[in-house]
Protein backbone atom coordinates (compact mmCIF):
# COMPACT_ATOMS: atom_id res chain seq x y z
CA UNK A 1 0.00 0.00 0.00
CA UNK A 2 1.45 3.37 -1.01
CA UNK A 3 1.55 6.10 1.58
CA UNK A 4 -0.07 9.35 0.52
CA UNK A 5 -1.40 12.56 2.03
CA UNK A 6 0.60 15.45 3.43
CA UNK A 7 1.79 13.28 6.34
CA UNK A 8 4.27 11.59 4.01
CA UNK A 9 7.58 11.44 5.85
CA UNK A 10 10.33 13.84 4.88
CA UNK A 11 12.89 11.10 4.10
CA UNK A 12 10.55 9.76 1.40
CA UNK A 13 10.81 13.11 -0.37
CA UNK A 14 14.58 13.09 -0.15
CA UNK A 15 14.55 9.60 -1.64
CA UNK A 16 12.08 10.59 -4.36
CA UNK A 17 13.99 13.66 -5.51
CA UNK A 18 17.50 12.56 -4.55
CA UNK A 19 18.15 15.96 -3.00
CA UNK A 20 19.52 16.88 0.42
CA UNK A 21 20.18 20.09 2.32
CA UNK A 22 23.59 20.63 0.74
CA UNK A 23 22.17 20.45 -2.79
CA UNK A 24 19.37 22.87 -1.89
CA UNK A 25 21.83 25.25 -0.25
CA UNK A 26 24.12 25.06 -3.29
CA UNK A 27 21.32 25.93 -5.70
CA UNK A 28 20.32 28.94 -3.61
CA UNK A 29 23.92 30.09 -3.31
CA UNK A 30 24.10 30.11 -7.11
CA UNK A 31 20.74 31.87 -7.52
CA UNK A 32 21.62 34.49 -4.91
CA UNK A 33 25.18 35.07 -6.11
CA UNK A 34 24.03 38.34 -7.68
CA UNK A 35 21.39 40.83 -6.51
CA UNK A 36 17.88 39.35 -6.38
CA UNK A 37 15.02 39.85 -3.93
CA UNK A 38 13.87 36.28 -3.66
CA UNK A 39 14.46 32.79 -5.03
CA UNK A 40 12.69 29.46 -4.73
CA UNK A 41 12.86 25.85 -5.90
CA UNK A 42 9.78 23.82 -6.84
CA UNK A 43 10.21 20.04 -7.01
CA UNK A 44 7.39 17.94 -8.45
CA UNK A 45 6.69 14.26 -9.03
CA UNK A 46 3.22 13.58 -10.47
CA UNK A 47 1.66 10.26 -11.47
CA UNK A 48 -1.54 10.29 -13.51
CA UNK A 49 -3.78 7.68 -15.04
CA UNK A 50 -7.00 7.94 -17.01
CA UNK A 51 -9.43 5.61 -18.71
CA UNK A 52 -12.47 6.36 -20.86
CA UNK A 53 -15.36 4.24 -22.07
CA UNK A 54 -17.73 4.88 -24.96
CA UNK A 55 -20.73 2.67 -25.63
CA UNK A 56 -19.32 -0.07 -23.45
CA UNK A 57 -15.93 -0.12 -25.17
CA UNK A 58 -12.69 1.15 -23.65
CA UNK A 59 -11.68 3.98 -25.98
CA UNK A 60 -8.51 5.14 -24.28
CA UNK A 61 -6.27 4.50 -21.33
CA UNK A 62 -3.11 6.23 -20.19
CA UNK A 63 -0.52 6.26 -17.45
CA UNK A 64 2.01 9.06 -17.18
CA UNK A 65 4.69 10.18 -14.76
CA UNK A 66 6.11 13.70 -14.74
CA UNK A 67 9.08 14.82 -12.69
CA UNK A 68 11.15 17.97 -12.57
CA UNK A 69 12.21 21.08 -10.76
CA UNK A 70 11.70 24.77 -11.45
CA UNK A 71 14.03 27.49 -10.16
CA UNK A 72 12.84 31.08 -9.84
CA UNK A 73 14.61 34.33 -9.03
CA UNK A 74 12.90 37.70 -8.52
CA UNK A 75 14.26 41.23 -8.63
CA UNK A 76 11.67 43.99 -8.48
CA UNK A 77 8.97 43.07 -10.98
CA UNK A 78 11.27 40.83 -13.00
CA UNK A 79 11.15 37.09 -12.66
CA UNK A 80 13.67 34.66 -14.07
CA UNK A 81 12.55 31.07 -14.36
CA UNK A 82 14.23 27.90 -15.55
CA UNK A 83 13.13 24.29 -15.24
CA UNK A 84 14.56 20.86 -15.90
CA UNK A 85 13.32 17.29 -15.81
CA UNK A 86 16.71 16.15 -14.50
CA UNK A 87 16.88 16.53 -10.74
CA UNK A 88 20.63 16.56 -10.16
CA UNK A 89 23.02 18.90 -8.40
CA UNK A 90 24.42 20.07 -11.76
CA UNK A 91 21.03 20.68 -13.39
CA UNK A 92 19.94 22.65 -10.31
CA UNK A 93 23.08 24.79 -10.57
CA UNK A 94 22.51 25.51 -14.26
CA UNK A 95 18.82 26.32 -13.77
CA UNK A 96 19.61 28.61 -10.84
CA UNK A 97 22.19 30.45 -12.90
CA UNK A 98 19.76 30.94 -15.80
CA UNK A 99 17.00 32.22 -13.52
CA UNK A 100 19.39 34.60 -11.75
CA UNK A 101 20.72 36.01 -15.04
CA UNK A 102 17.19 36.87 -16.22
CA UNK A 103 16.06 38.48 -12.97
CA UNK A 104 19.26 40.14 -11.78
CA UNK A 105 18.52 43.52 -10.20
CA UNK A 106 20.16 46.21 -8.13
CA UNK A 107 18.94 45.24 -4.67
CA UNK A 108 21.02 43.19 -2.26
CA UNK A 109 20.28 39.48 -2.08
CA UNK A 110 18.82 38.31 1.21
CA UNK A 111 20.68 35.73 3.21
CA UNK A 112 19.38 32.19 2.97
CA UNK A 113 17.95 30.80 6.21
CA UNK A 114 16.59 27.32 5.52
CA UNK A 115 14.92 25.58 8.45
CA UNK A 116 14.76 22.07 6.99
CA UNK A 117 11.81 20.40 5.25
CA UNK A 118 8.51 20.44 7.13
CA UNK A 119 5.03 19.05 6.73
CA UNK A 120 2.08 21.44 6.39
CA UNK A 121 0.44 22.38 9.67
CA UNK A 122 -2.80 20.65 8.60
CA UNK A 123 -3.90 17.80 6.36
CA UNK A 124 -6.99 18.49 4.28
CA UNK A 125 -6.82 15.24 2.31
CA UNK A 126 -5.39 12.34 4.37
CA UNK A 127 -5.56 9.09 2.38
CA UNK A 128 -4.23 5.60 3.05
CA UNK A 129 -4.12 4.66 -0.64
CA UNK A 130 -3.26 6.90 -3.57
CA UNK A 131 -5.97 6.86 -6.28
CA UNK A 132 -3.28 6.07 -8.85
CA UNK A 133 -2.45 2.86 -6.95
CA UNK A 134 -5.93 1.39 -7.47
CA UNK A 135 -5.74 -1.32 -10.20
CA UNK A 136 -6.88 -0.15 -13.62
CA UNK A 137 -9.13 -3.22 -13.92
CA UNK A 138 -11.38 -1.96 -11.14
CA UNK A 139 -11.60 1.44 -12.82
CA UNK A 140 -12.70 -0.14 -16.10
CA UNK A 141 -15.34 -2.20 -14.25
CA UNK A 142 -16.69 0.99 -12.69
CA UNK A 143 -17.13 2.63 -16.08
CA UNK A 144 -18.81 -0.49 -17.46
CA UNK A 145 -21.27 -0.48 -14.58
CA UNK A 146 -21.98 3.17 -15.26
CA UNK A 147 -22.67 2.43 -18.94
CA UNK A 148 -25.11 -0.39 -18.10
CA UNK A 149 -26.88 1.63 -15.43
CA UNK A 150 -27.28 4.75 -17.58
CA UNK A 151 -28.90 2.78 -20.39
CA UNK A 152 -31.27 1.13 -17.94
CA UNK A 153 -32.60 4.47 -16.76
CA UNK A 154 -34.56 5.28 -19.91
CA UNK A 155 -34.92 3.73 -23.40
CA UNK A 156 -34.22 7.14 -24.94
CA UNK A 157 -30.60 7.05 -23.78
CA UNK A 158 -28.81 6.35 -27.05
CA UNK A 159 -25.17 6.86 -26.15
CA UNK A 160 -23.05 6.84 -22.97
CA UNK A 161 -19.53 8.14 -22.45
CA UNK A 162 -17.72 7.90 -19.12
CA UNK A 163 -14.19 8.68 -17.97
CA UNK A 164 -12.16 8.50 -14.79
CA UNK A 165 -8.91 10.35 -14.13
CA UNK A 166 -6.68 9.96 -11.06
CA UNK A 167 -3.61 11.87 -9.92
CA UNK A 168 -1.08 11.98 -7.12
CA UNK A 169 1.15 15.05 -7.03
CA UNK A 170 4.18 15.12 -4.71
CA UNK A 171 5.69 18.55 -4.12
CA UNK A 172 8.66 19.98 -2.26
CA UNK A 173 9.13 23.75 -2.12
CA UNK A 174 12.17 25.57 -0.75
CA UNK A 175 12.52 29.35 -0.73
CA UNK A 176 15.19 31.88 0.19
CA UNK A 177 13.09 33.20 3.08
CA UNK A 178 13.50 29.86 4.87
CA UNK A 179 10.33 28.19 3.62
CA UNK A 180 10.85 24.47 3.08
CA UNK A 181 7.70 22.36 2.92
CA UNK A 182 6.47 19.14 1.32
CA UNK A 183 2.97 18.00 0.40
CA UNK A 184 1.22 15.15 -1.44
CA UNK A 185 -1.97 16.08 -3.29
CA UNK A 186 -4.39 13.38 -4.50
CA UNK A 187 -7.08 14.19 -7.08
CA UNK A 188 -9.82 12.19 -8.80
CA UNK A 189 -12.57 13.12 -11.24
CA UNK A 190 -15.40 11.08 -12.77
CA UNK A 191 -17.28 12.40 -15.80
CA UNK A 192 -20.42 10.99 -17.40
CA UNK A 193 -22.01 12.20 -20.63
CA UNK A 194 -25.20 10.81 -22.14
CA UNK A 195 -27.09 11.50 -25.35
CA UNK A 196 -30.85 11.11 -25.39
CA UNK A 197 -32.72 10.65 -28.68
CA UNK A 198 -36.42 10.76 -29.53
CA UNK A 199 -38.53 11.82 -32.52
CA UNK A 200 -35.47 12.68 -34.59
CA UNK A 201 -34.00 14.93 -31.89
CA UNK A 202 -30.81 14.35 -29.92
CA UNK A 203 -29.73 16.18 -26.76
CA UNK A 204 -26.57 15.71 -24.68
CA UNK A 205 -25.90 16.35 -21.01
CA UNK A 206 -22.94 15.72 -18.75
CA UNK A 207 -22.25 15.55 -15.04
CA UNK A 208 -19.23 14.81 -12.90
CA UNK A 209 -17.89 14.44 -9.40
CA UNK A 210 -14.50 14.44 -7.76
CA UNK A 211 -12.13 16.02 -5.33
CA UNK A 212 -9.08 15.25 -3.21
CA UNK A 213 -10.72 12.08 -1.99
CA UNK A 214 -10.20 8.32 -1.89
CA UNK A 215 -11.33 6.64 -5.09
CA UNK A 216 -13.62 4.45 -2.98
CA UNK A 217 -15.84 7.48 -2.42
CA UNK A 218 -16.65 7.50 -6.15
CA UNK A 219 -16.82 3.74 -6.66
CA UNK A 220 -19.59 3.60 -4.06
CA UNK A 221 -22.77 2.99 -6.15
CA UNK A 222 -24.67 5.61 -4.15
CA UNK A 223 -22.16 8.23 -5.35
CA UNK A 224 -21.77 7.38 -9.04
CA UNK A 225 -25.46 6.60 -9.58
CA UNK A 226 -26.28 10.11 -8.42
CA UNK A 227 -23.96 11.46 -11.13
CA UNK A 228 -25.54 9.25 -13.80
CA UNK A 229 -29.10 10.05 -12.72
CA UNK A 230 -28.43 13.77 -13.00
CA UNK A 231 -26.89 13.47 -16.47
CA UNK A 232 -29.85 11.39 -17.67
CA UNK A 233 -32.35 13.81 -16.15
CA UNK A 234 -30.75 16.82 -17.85
CA UNK A 235 -30.62 15.11 -21.25
CA UNK A 236 -34.30 14.14 -21.05
CA UNK A 237 -35.29 17.64 -19.93
CA UNK A 238 -33.46 19.11 -22.92
CA UNK A 239 -35.39 16.81 -25.26
CA UNK A 240 -38.51 18.77 -24.29
CA UNK A 241 -36.92 22.22 -24.38
CA UNK A 242 -38.04 25.08 -26.58
CA UNK A 243 -36.02 28.00 -27.94
CA UNK A 244 -35.11 30.62 -25.36
CA UNK A 245 -36.50 34.10 -25.97
CA UNK A 246 -34.07 37.02 -26.01
CA UNK A 247 -34.28 40.24 -24.08
CA UNK A 248 -33.62 41.91 -20.74
CA UNK A 249 -34.90 39.73 -17.91
CA UNK A 250 -34.71 39.09 -14.22
CA UNK A 251 -32.61 35.94 -13.82
CA UNK A 252 -32.51 33.47 -10.95
CA UNK A 253 -29.25 31.53 -10.67
CA UNK A 254 -29.51 28.03 -9.19
CA UNK A 255 -27.23 27.07 -6.28
CA UNK A 256 -23.97 25.22 -6.87
CA UNK A 257 -22.35 25.06 -10.31
CA UNK A 258 -23.85 28.45 -11.25
CA UNK A 259 -20.97 29.80 -9.18
CA UNK A 260 -18.86 29.37 -12.33
CA UNK A 261 -20.34 32.69 -13.48
CA UNK A 262 -19.08 34.33 -10.28
CA UNK A 263 -15.69 32.66 -10.75
CA UNK A 264 -15.21 33.93 -14.28
CA UNK A 265 -17.05 37.25 -14.32
CA UNK A 266 -15.81 38.46 -10.93
CA UNK A 267 -13.16 36.13 -9.49
CA UNK A 268 -10.40 36.71 -12.03
CA UNK A 269 -10.80 40.45 -11.61
CA UNK A 270 -9.95 40.03 -7.91
CA UNK A 271 -6.58 38.34 -8.55
CA UNK A 272 -3.58 40.40 -7.47
CA UNK A 273 -1.65 40.59 -10.75
CA UNK A 274 -4.51 42.22 -12.67
CA UNK A 275 -4.99 44.76 -9.89
CA UNK A 276 -1.29 45.55 -9.51
CA UNK A 277 -1.14 46.22 -13.24
CA UNK A 278 -4.43 48.15 -13.00
CA UNK A 279 -6.05 46.10 -15.75
CA UNK A 280 -8.96 44.90 -13.61
CA UNK A 281 -12.34 46.55 -13.21
CA UNK A 282 -11.66 46.30 -9.44
CA UNK A 283 -8.28 48.08 -9.43
CA UNK A 284 -7.81 50.70 -6.66
CA UNK A 285 -11.29 50.02 -5.27
CA UNK A 286 -10.46 48.50 -1.86
CA UNK A 287 -13.00 49.89 0.62
CA UNK A 288 -15.50 50.83 -2.09
CA UNK A 289 -18.91 49.33 -2.71
CA UNK A 290 -18.65 47.00 -5.70
CA UNK A 291 -21.73 44.82 -5.13
CA UNK A 292 -25.21 45.02 -3.69
CA UNK A 293 -25.63 44.85 0.10
CA UNK A 294 -25.78 41.23 1.25
CA UNK A 295 -23.23 40.04 -1.30
CA UNK A 296 -20.17 38.45 0.36
CA UNK A 297 -17.64 36.63 -1.82
CA UNK A 298 -15.01 34.30 -0.34
CA UNK A 299 -12.07 32.32 -1.71
CA UNK A 300 -11.34 29.44 0.64
CA UNK A 301 -8.57 26.91 0.02
CA UNK A 302 -8.98 25.24 3.42
CA UNK A 303 -12.15 23.15 2.92
CA UNK A 304 -11.31 19.49 3.48
CA UNK A 305 -11.21 17.21 0.40
CA UNK A 306 -12.44 19.87 -2.05
CA UNK A 307 -11.00 19.95 -5.57
CA UNK A 308 -9.70 23.50 -5.17
CA UNK A 309 -8.27 23.02 -1.67
CA UNK A 310 -4.57 22.80 -0.79
CA UNK A 311 -2.59 22.44 2.42
CA UNK A 312 -0.09 24.91 0.95
CA UNK A 313 -0.09 26.71 -2.38
CA UNK A 314 2.60 26.19 -5.02
CA UNK A 315 4.90 28.67 -3.27
CA UNK A 316 4.66 26.95 0.11
CA UNK A 317 2.26 29.51 1.63
CA UNK A 318 -0.57 27.96 3.70
CA UNK A 319 -3.95 28.46 2.05
CA UNK A 320 -6.58 30.52 3.85
CA UNK A 321 -10.19 31.61 3.91
CA UNK A 322 -9.95 35.02 2.23
CA UNK A 323 -12.93 37.35 2.22
CA UNK A 324 -12.83 39.36 -1.01
CA UNK A 325 -16.14 41.23 -0.95
CA UNK A 326 -17.93 41.74 2.35
CA UNK A 327 -21.56 42.88 2.36
CA UNK A 328 -20.98 44.48 -1.05
CA UNK A 329 -17.67 46.22 -0.16
CA UNK A 330 -14.35 45.18 -1.72
CA UNK A 331 -11.98 44.22 1.11
CA UNK A 332 -9.18 42.21 -0.49
CA UNK A 333 -7.48 40.54 -3.42
CA UNK A 334 -6.03 37.07 -3.96
CA UNK A 335 -2.23 37.22 -3.87
CA UNK A 336 0.85 35.21 -4.68
CA UNK A 337 4.20 36.24 -3.17
CA UNK A 338 5.40 38.47 -6.01
CA UNK A 339 2.30 40.61 -6.31
CA UNK A 340 1.80 40.71 -2.54
CA UNK A 341 5.34 42.06 -2.08
CA UNK A 342 4.97 44.65 -4.83
CA UNK A 343 1.57 45.81 -3.56
CA UNK A 344 2.59 45.85 0.11
CA UNK A 345 -0.02 43.23 0.99
CA UNK A 346 0.22 39.79 2.60
CA UNK A 347 0.38 36.66 0.47
CA UNK A 348 -2.97 34.88 0.74
CA UNK A 349 -2.04 31.32 -0.30
CA UNK A 350 -3.20 31.79 -3.90
CA UNK A 351 0.12 31.28 -5.71
CA UNK A 352 -0.60 28.42 -8.09
CA UNK A 353 0.99 26.79 -11.13
CA UNK A 354 0.07 23.95 -13.46
CA UNK A 355 3.39 22.15 -13.05
CA UNK A 356 7.12 22.64 -12.43
CA UNK A 357 7.36 23.94 -16.00
CA UNK A 358 5.29 27.03 -15.14
CA UNK A 359 5.67 30.17 -13.07
CA UNK A 360 3.16 30.58 -10.23
CA UNK A 361 0.59 33.37 -10.40
CA UNK A 362 -2.43 34.49 -8.35
CA UNK A 363 -5.23 31.96 -8.88
CA UNK A 364 -8.50 31.06 -7.21
CA UNK A 365 -9.03 27.95 -5.04
CA UNK A 366 -12.70 27.48 -4.02
CA UNK A 367 -14.57 30.71 -4.76
CA UNK A 368 -18.19 31.27 -3.76
CA UNK A 369 -20.81 33.69 -2.50
CA UNK A 370 -21.99 33.20 1.07
CA UNK A 371 -25.61 32.33 1.79
CA UNK A 372 -28.16 34.98 2.60
CA UNK A 373 -31.41 34.75 4.56
CA UNK A 374 -34.07 34.20 1.92
CA UNK A 375 -36.02 31.08 1.04
CA UNK A 376 -35.08 29.90 -2.48
CA UNK A 377 -38.71 29.23 -3.34
CA UNK A 378 -39.64 32.78 -2.39
CA UNK A 379 -36.92 34.09 -4.70
CA UNK A 380 -38.41 32.23 -7.69
CA UNK A 381 -41.93 33.33 -6.70
CA UNK A 382 -40.76 36.94 -6.67
CA UNK A 383 -40.13 36.92 -10.44
CA UNK A 384 -43.15 37.60 -12.64
CA UNK A 385 -41.38 36.90 -15.91
CA UNK A 386 -37.77 35.82 -16.25
CA UNK A 387 -35.28 32.97 -16.54
CA UNK A 388 -34.11 30.28 -14.12
CA UNK A 389 -30.51 29.31 -15.00
CA UNK A 390 -29.87 25.85 -13.53
CA UNK A 391 -26.54 24.84 -15.11
CA UNK A 392 -23.84 26.64 -17.06
CA UNK A 393 -21.47 25.70 -19.85
CA UNK A 394 -18.54 27.71 -21.16
CA UNK A 395 -18.09 31.44 -21.25
CA UNK A 396 -15.83 34.35 -22.13
CA UNK A 397 -14.78 37.26 -19.92
CA UNK A 398 -12.81 40.45 -20.48
CA UNK A 399 -10.93 41.11 -17.24
CA UNK A 400 -10.39 44.81 -17.92
CA UNK A 401 -14.02 45.69 -18.61
CA UNK A 402 -15.67 42.81 -16.75
CA UNK A 403 -17.88 41.98 -19.73
CA UNK A 404 -18.96 38.34 -19.97
CA UNK A 405 -20.95 35.94 -22.15
CA UNK A 406 -22.01 32.55 -20.74
CA UNK A 407 -23.95 29.68 -22.24
CA UNK A 408 -26.63 28.06 -20.09
CA UNK A 409 -26.94 24.28 -20.42
CA UNK A 410 -30.18 23.94 -18.47
CA UNK A 411 -32.70 26.74 -18.07
CA UNK A 412 -36.43 27.34 -17.57
CA UNK A 413 -38.81 30.20 -18.15
CA UNK A 414 -40.23 31.75 -15.00
CA UNK A 415 -43.84 32.82 -15.45
CA UNK A 416 -45.89 34.32 -12.62
CA UNK A 417 -43.43 33.04 -10.04
CA UNK A 418 -43.42 29.44 -11.28
CA UNK A 419 -40.95 27.42 -13.32
CA UNK A 420 -42.26 26.92 -16.83
CA UNK A 421 -40.96 25.18 -19.93
CA UNK A 422 -37.30 24.25 -20.27
CA UNK A 423 -35.48 26.38 -22.83
CA UNK A 424 -32.34 25.87 -24.89
CA UNK A 425 -29.90 28.21 -26.56
CA UNK A 426 -29.82 30.69 -23.66
CA UNK A 427 -26.80 32.91 -23.03
CA UNK A 428 -26.25 35.45 -20.27
CA UNK A 429 -24.57 38.67 -21.34
CA UNK A 430 -23.41 41.36 -18.96
CA UNK A 431 -20.67 43.00 -16.92
CA UNK A 432 -19.37 41.33 -13.77
CA UNK A 433 -19.20 44.36 -11.46
CA UNK A 434 -22.53 45.62 -12.82
CA UNK A 435 -24.15 42.19 -12.31
CA UNK A 436 -23.01 42.20 -8.66
CA UNK A 437 -24.81 45.51 -8.18
CA UNK A 438 -27.97 43.99 -9.68
CA UNK A 439 -28.20 41.17 -7.13
CA UNK A 440 -31.49 41.80 -5.35
CA UNK A 441 -32.06 38.61 -3.36
CA UNK A 442 -29.69 35.95 -1.91
CA UNK A 443 -30.92 32.52 -0.80
CA UNK A 444 -30.04 30.59 2.31
CA UNK A 445 -28.98 27.50 0.34
CA UNK A 446 -25.28 27.88 -0.46
CA UNK A 447 -24.07 24.85 -2.40
CA UNK A 448 -20.59 24.02 -3.69
CA UNK A 449 -20.06 22.31 -7.03
CA UNK A 450 -19.52 18.56 -7.33
CA UNK A 451 -15.76 18.80 -7.85
CA UNK A 452 -15.20 19.14 -11.59
CA UNK A 453 -13.85 22.67 -12.18
CA UNK A 454 -10.63 23.49 -14.00
CA UNK A 455 -9.60 27.13 -14.40
CA UNK A 456 -7.51 28.39 -17.30
CA UNK A 457 -5.28 31.46 -17.16
CA UNK A 458 -2.29 32.38 -19.33
CA UNK A 459 -2.23 28.86 -20.76
CA UNK A 460 -2.20 27.14 -17.35
CA UNK A 461 -4.98 24.96 -15.97
CA UNK A 462 -5.47 24.27 -12.26
CA UNK A 463 -8.28 22.51 -10.34
CA UNK A 464 -10.75 24.84 -8.64
CA UNK A 465 -14.11 24.84 -6.91
CA UNK A 466 -17.07 27.19 -7.22
CA UNK A 467 -20.30 27.75 -5.31
CA UNK A 468 -23.40 29.90 -5.04
CA UNK A 469 -26.69 30.08 -3.19
CA UNK A 470 -29.88 30.80 -5.14
CA UNK A 471 -29.47 34.39 -6.35
CA UNK A 472 -31.77 36.80 -8.17
CA UNK A 473 -30.09 39.23 -10.58
CA UNK A 474 -32.32 41.95 -12.01
CA UNK A 475 -32.20 43.15 -15.59
CA UNK A 476 -29.62 40.85 -17.18
CA UNK A 477 -29.38 40.60 -20.95
CA UNK A 478 -30.42 37.13 -22.14
CA UNK A 479 -29.48 35.96 -25.60
CA UNK A 480 -31.68 33.37 -27.27
CA UNK A 481 -33.12 32.09 -30.50
CA UNK A 482 -36.83 32.33 -29.71
CA UNK A 483 -39.29 35.12 -30.22
pLDDT tens for the chain, 483 residues long, are 334 444 443 444 555 777 777 788 888 887 777 778 889 999 999 999 999 999 999 999 999 999 999 999 998 899 999 999 999 889 999 998 899 888 876 555 555 555 555 678 899 999 999 999 999 999 999 999 999 999 999 999 999 999 999 999 999 999 988 898 999 999 999 999 999 999 999 999 999 999 999 999 999 999 999 999 999 999 999 999 999 999 999 999 999 999 999 998 899 999 999 999 999 999 999 999 999 999 999 999 999 999 999 999 999 999 999 999 999 999 999 999 999 999 999 999 999 999 999 999 999 999 999 999 999 999 999 999 999 999 998 788 888 888 999 999 999 999 999 999 999 999 999 999 999 999 999 999 999 999 999 999 999 999 999 999 999 999 999 999 875
Give all domains of the chain, ordered by start, each with its CATH number.
10-239 (3.30.2290.10), 247-479 (no CATH)
Four-residue CA torsion sign, 412, 413, 417, 419: negative
Distance CA 192, CA 165 (A): 12
| Residue 362: strand pairing partners | 351
Backbone torsions φ then ψ of 381, nearest 5 degrees:
-65, -20
| Residue 32: strand pairing partners | none
Characterise 449 by phi-psi region: left (phi > 0), alpha (psi -120 to 50), beta (else): beta
Residue (of 137, 133, 143, 145) closest to 215 by Cα position: 133
Please name the residues in contact with 265: beta carbons below 8 A apart, sequence gap of 6 or more. Answer: 395, 397, 402, 404, 406, 430, 431, 432, 435
Identify the DSSP state of 263: I
Characterise 287 by phi-psi region: left (phi > 0), alpha (psi -120 to 50), beta (else): left
| Residue 210: strand pairing partners | 189
Distance CA 347, CA 152 (A): 51
C-alpha gyration radius of the chain: 24
Q: Parallel, antiparallel, or unpaired for β 329-330 and 321-326?
A: antiparallel
Beta strands in 99-200 (DSSP E): 157-175, 180-198
Beta strands in 307-384 (DSSP E): 321-326, 329-330, 351-352, 361-362, 366-369
Amino acid sequence: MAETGSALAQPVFRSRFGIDERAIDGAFSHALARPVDYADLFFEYTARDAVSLEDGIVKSGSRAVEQGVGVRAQAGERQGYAHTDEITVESLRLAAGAARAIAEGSSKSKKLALRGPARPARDLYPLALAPTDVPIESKVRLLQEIDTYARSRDPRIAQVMASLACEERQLMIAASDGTWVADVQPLVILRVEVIAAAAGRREAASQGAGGRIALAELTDPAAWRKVVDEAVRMALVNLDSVSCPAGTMDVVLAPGWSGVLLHEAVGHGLEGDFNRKKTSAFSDRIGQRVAAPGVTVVDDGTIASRRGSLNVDDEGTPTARNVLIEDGVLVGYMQDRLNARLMGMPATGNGRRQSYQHLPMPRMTNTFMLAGQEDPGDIVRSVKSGLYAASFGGGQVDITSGKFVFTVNEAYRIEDGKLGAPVKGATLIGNGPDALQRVSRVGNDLKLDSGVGTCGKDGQGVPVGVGLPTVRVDGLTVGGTGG
